Structures are given as structure tokens and as C-alpha cells.
């Protein structure tokens, strides 16, 4: 008897078993994610609110300002050199307190 023969009982059983145990691949439909839903709700850029335009204008103005107020730095430097710089300790303590207790 030829072992590769389709009439061989072990091959017939094996092929039948494979057909019975292997389920056909079916793809389940994917649900829309929350991010995709939110993206679909966004209006086109041509309808940007007045508030957004004002915010952009303010951001551009801030970008044009220097990071450090050199005039104030020079004023404090001169006061330190002259010995006239003074610190209001109550105001300083209040600022430190409010900074750390607002978090």
C-alpha cells in the first residue's frame, strides 16, 4: 500500500480533522476610536474662532519680546552696586507661600 495514497485511512482522517478544527478567518469590523470620532467633529480651519485669532496674535507678540527684561536687570544691578537695592521680606515671603500652596 502506498503511504501517500489518498485512500490511506490515517491521511483521510487527518485531512478531515484539519477541515473540522480550522475555522475560516473572518475579520470583525473595527469600531471607530474616540480619537477618530473627535477628529470627525473638528470644523475646517477657515472657521477659526475670533478668540483663537486673538490668541495667535498675542503669541506672536510674545515671541517678539526678549526672554529677559534687560532694562530691569540693569536697574537691579545698579542698585546692588550702589547698595540701594532693598527687598520687602513680607512681599517675598507671601510670593513664596502663594507659589507653593497653589499647587
pLDDT tens track, the chain, 103 positions = 444 544 555 554 444 444 445 555 566 656 677 777 776 666 555 567 888 888 989 999 988 888 899 999 999 999 999 999 999 999 999 999 999 886 6
Residues constituting the chain? 103
User: What is residue 103's predicted lDDT score, i.e. its pLDDT?
Assistant: 60
Are 39 and 33 a contacting pair, CB within 8 Å? no
pTM: predicted TM-score of the whole model, two decimal places: 0.34
Alpha helices in 1-103 (DSSP H): 9-21, 34-41, 50-64, 70-82, 89-101
Distance in angstroms (rounded) separating the CA atoms of residues 75 and 82: 11
Amino acid at each position: 500500500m502506498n503511504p501517500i495514497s489518498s485512500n490511506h485511512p490515517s491521511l483521510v482522517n487527518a485531512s478531515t480533522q484539519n477541515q473540522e478544527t480550522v475555522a475560516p478567518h473572518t475579520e470583525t469590523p473595527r469600531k471607530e476610536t474616540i480619537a477618530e470620532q473627535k477628529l470627525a467633529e473638528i470644523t475646517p480651519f477657515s472657521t477659526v474662532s475670533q478668540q483663537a485669532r486673538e490668541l495667535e496674535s498675542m503669541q506672536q507678540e510674545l515671541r517678539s519680546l526678549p526672554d529677559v527684561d534687560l532694562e530691569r536687570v540693569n536697574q537691579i544691578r545698579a542698585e546692588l552696586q550702589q547698595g540701594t537695592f532693598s527687598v520687602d521680606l513680607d512681599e517675598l515671603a507671601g510670593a513664596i507661600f502663594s507659589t507653593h500652596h497653589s499647587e
